[in-house]
Amino acid sequence: MASFKDIISGDKPVLIDFYATWCGPCKTMMPILEQLKDEVGDTAKIVKIDVDKNQSLATKYQVRGVPTLIIFKDANIVWRQSGVVQSSELAGLLKQHA
C-alpha cells in the first residue's frame, strides 16, 4: 500500500477528504465527490481519509472539523477548506492546479 507521502507527492493534484463516519456534512460530500471523480477522471486523485482511523494524519494537518478538504500538489498544500464544497468549485480548483 502506498504511503500518504507517496499519494500526495505526484505531479497531479490530490484532493484529500478528511471525514468521519458519524459526520452529517461528510455524508453530504459523498455524492459530490463521486460526481467530481466522474468529472475530473484521471487528471486528479481523490482520496478519503477517516480521521478516527488516521488520527496521526488528522493531527499532522491540524484537521479540527470534518469534512476538511485539502488539495496537495507535489506534496504541498495548495488549497484547504472545511465544510461542504460543491463539485463545480472543486473541479475548478483541481483544474487550476493540474
Give the pLDDT mean for 5-28: 96
pLDDT band for position 10 (50/70/90)? confident
For the chain, the domain total comes to: 1
Listed in order, strand segments (DSSP E) in 1-98 are 14-19, 45-50, 68-73, 76-82
Has residue 1 got a pLDDT over 80? Answer: no
Read off the CATH number of the domain in which 17 is found.
3.40.30.10
Query: Is 33 tagged catalytic?
Result: no
Has residue 88 got a pLDDT over 90? Answer: yes
pLDDT band for position 74 (50/70/90)? very high
pLDDT band for position 92 (50/70/90)? very high
Catalytic residue chosen out of the listed positions 26, 46, 66, 94: 26
- Domain of residue 62 covers 4-96
Query: Is 39 tagged catalytic?
Result: no
Catalytic residue chosen out of the listed positions 23, 47, 57, 91: 23
Dihedral sign for Cα atoms in the order 88, 94, 85, 30:
positive
